Amino acid sequence: MNTHLSVVIVGAGNMGGGMLSRLCELGWSVGVHDTDPLAHSRAVLKGAIPCPSALEAARKLAPDGVLLVAVVDAAQTEAVLWGEGGACAALQPGQAVMLCPTLGPGTVQAQAERLALLGIGCIDAPMSGGPLRAQDGSMSLMVACSDVLWARSQNLLDALSQKVFRVGTRAGDGARTKLVNNLLAAVNLVGAAEAMALAERLGLDPRVTLSVIEASSGQSWIGSDRMHRALQDDFAPRAHVTLLAKDTGLAVQAAEEAGFDPPLGRLAKDLFAQALGMGWADLDDAALLQLMRQR
């Protein structure tokens, strides 16, 4: 078995699984660990090399390899890196950690500083676009890292995405960019749900109205993507309500720390919190239409 992998992925869920699929299809040897047995077994069926823990995943890395973290939040990231069976007990100077979850900028900066004390690089690289785009390489990656890491990681970044944006060298700038993007995505989604609910209340055919919007000035990618399935009462989770609820909270917090008051962002945050309060955490965020229908 190859014990010198250039990349291992911890977290093979929606986005991590999509990235793993792409790398395997491109012929990369990829290690994988996921605490969910189903996600882990699916990744192995795709050709990934199984690792029983994040620690063992790190042990399989080549001297200049990258541990790609694709979990959900800051708590899971902390556990992957520093918890029991965490990767940092085995990572070596010269290796790097690529942080792909949506995290607060302060969290990314703190992780980068802790890793630097061990001689380990940090690639701040949140992603956007959904699992299908992760799998076909059309998702966006917002990357902040040193010049040395940027040059060294080009092959991996180019394999993962055709839309890699270098947003800076400061750890946390990838996270800042992602939060700005996701705040706008949340506002656009809330607006699209509101418009569709209003169309229904006015007695319009919402599907026809949506087709008009898609050819007109009100169009947004997330509005089109979510409202098509919402109008079919399809709320099977592709992107859980929990995710944008978390991200809007992080974005509003970052805005407040910067001395900026985001009125639309706060409204979107509150509406996502209402959706969580309805017990819809595990539904697709297209469920915002249901919330608007109740107004």
pLDDT digits (tens, 9 = 90+) for 10-28: 999 989 999 999 999 999 9
Angle, vertex CA 284, rays to CA 283 and CA 286, nearest 5: 120
Say what the pLDDT of residue 4 is.
Answer: 74
pTM summary value? 0.90
Q: Each residue of 280-292: pLDDT tens digit? A: 999 999 999 999 9
Same domain, 156 and 121: yes
Q: Each residue of 176-235: pLDDT tens digit? A: 999 999 999 999 999 999 999 999 999 999 999 999 999 999 999 999 999 999 999 999
Please, are residues 143 and 165 in contact by the beta-carbon 8 Å criterion? yes
The total number of structural domains that make up the chain: 2
Q: Which domain holds residue 218?
A: 177-293
Say what the pLDDT of residue 63 is.
Answer: 94
46, 60, 163, 178: the catalytic one is 178
Q: What is the dihedral of CA 233, 229, 181, 258, to 10 degrees?
A: -10
Same domain, 194 and 265: yes
Same domain, 122 and 46: yes
How many alpha carbons lie under 13 Å from residue 71 in its C-beta half-sphere?
A: 18
Q: Each residue of 106-142: pLDDT tens digit? A: 999 999 999 999 999 999 999 998 888 999 999 999 9
Distance (Å, whole) CA 112 – CA 36: 27
CATH code, domain carrying 106: 3.40.50.720
How buried is 260 (Cβ within 10 angstroms: 0-12 exposed, 13-18 middle, 19+ buried)? exposed
Same domain, 30 and 158: yes
Say what the pLDDT of residue 129 is.
Answer: 85
Single residue among 171, 204, 237 that ends a domain in this structure = 171
Same domain, 230 and 264: yes
> How does DSSP assign 62-110, residue by residue?
EEEEEEEE--SSHHHHHHHHHSTT-GGGT--TT-EEEE-S---HHHHHH
Same domain, 162 and 24: yes
Same domain, 30 and 156: yes
Compute the chain's Rg from CA coordinates.
20
Distance (Å, whole) CA 68 – CA 60: 13
178 is catalytic: yes
Category of 146 on φ-ψ map: left (φ > 0), alpha (ψ -120 to 50) or beta: beta
Say what the pLDDT of residue 2 is.
Answer: 45
Same domain, 39 and 132: yes
Say what the pLDDT of residue 239 is.
Answer: 86
